[in-house]
Structure 1
Amino acid sequence: MKVKIDKLGNELRYIQNDMKQVAILLSFFLFLFGSGFDHSDGIQEKAGITWYSLKEAQQLANTSDKKVFIYMEASWCGYCKKMENEVFPVKEVQDAMQEYFYPVRMDIESDKEITFNGTQMTKKEFASSIRVTGTPTHLFLDGKGEILGKQPGFIPADVFKSLLSYVGSDAFGQIKFEQYLNESKK
């Protein structure tokens, strides 16, 4: 450690290799945090859920009875992290997701290009076009890319599992969600 005296006579202590340590720390944080925010580059598994790109999910849903679920998130979103830590790891949520949906993760602030219903746009433009302004927001699409509905905010695991089943089973076209919840508890 070197000691240096500033113009006012105060001691300034600094580590000789401070630039090297800063570079090492910066590299570590870029590795740790830099790769985790844009989750939609192909099939990935996280918290027991297989996540698809939007293009893959739409192609698969178009040839099956499943729908597309888009989890709209942001890297700074505390409630998104709560969904990821408390809701997505729950087995019943994973089972309902797998049974009814091809799930997609989308950062609403990303400038990465996507294709939605044949139109090129950024993820940020997509979020804006469907008026998503807060995160998390849960978006449901049919196999043709038509928006069935969206639900903003943190949703506890038991309610989220029921919401996935409600939309996935097409009950949303027949009864209200509150009635569905009451009937599913019987």
Structure 2
Amino acid sequence: MIKKFLLTIFLITTIISANDKLKWYGFDEGLAKAKKENKFLLVDFYTDWCGWCKKMDSETYANKNIIKLLNKDFVLVKLNPEKHGTVNFDSNTYTNGQFAGAAGVTGYPATGFFEPSGQFIGIIPGYLDPTNFTDLLSKIVSKDYLNQQ
């Protein structure tokens, strides 16, 4: 009886803690998943040497409220333009660096957003603290960006 109780508690804890983490994909897999699940795609453009990228990982992406928002409405991609790799998008194949340039990335970190259909929304440059990032995610989900001229 106690074994069953402990096993149940363990399983519940495991399920709850899984929702407190972010799962990151490569671009091609993430885009396919976003389309399949009808979620927005968020692309975190980063580099290994970027201090602000590390701060965004440790503060913004670690924030429990942001984790909940991201897990609900987004599929997440981490893309390092300085690493070897390719991205297939819009019937073209790019290196990671070419794709970042084509998306308008000029510095790091930069956050890219795509519609669930795969249509590019835009790039937000720089570090975003949890408050500003939460506001931005809300605008993306509510499609407020469609009202911008």
TM-score (normalizing by structure 1): 0.65
Q: Which residue of 1 aligns with 2:31?
A: 58
Q: Report which structure shows greater RCO (CA 8 Å, sep ≥6).
A: 2
Runs of 4+ that moved beyond 3 A: none
- Whether 1:133 and 2:106 are equivalent positions in the alignment is yes
Q: Rate the CA distance shift 1:100–1:133 in 2: closer, same or farther, 3 A.
A: same
Q: Which residue of 2 aligns with 1:182?
A: none
Q: Which has the larger radius of gyration?
A: 1
Deviations 1:20-42 (A, max 9, x none): xxxxxxxxxxxxxxxxxxxxxxx
TM-score (normalizing by structure 2): 0.79
Q: Which residue of 2 aligns with 1:41?
A: none
Q: Which residue of 2 aligns with 1:170?
A: 143
Deviations 1:134-157 (A, max 9, x none): 000010011232211211011110
> Does the 8 Å contact 1:61/1:102 carry over to 2?
yes
In structure 2, C-alpha distance between the alignment counterparts of 1:52 and 1:104, rounded to whole Å? 5
Q: Give the alignment of 1:86-101 within 5 angstroms.
A: 86-101=59-74
The Cα shift of 1:175 comes to 6.7
SS across alignment from 2:104? coil
Structure 1: segments with no counterpart, 5+ residues? 1-44, 177-186
Q: Which residue of 2 aligns with 1:160?
A: 133
> Does the 8 Å contact 1:114/1:121 carry over to 2?
yes
> Does the 8 Å contact 1:138/1:152 carry over to 2?
yes
The letter of the residue matching 1:94 is I
How many residues were matched structurally?
131
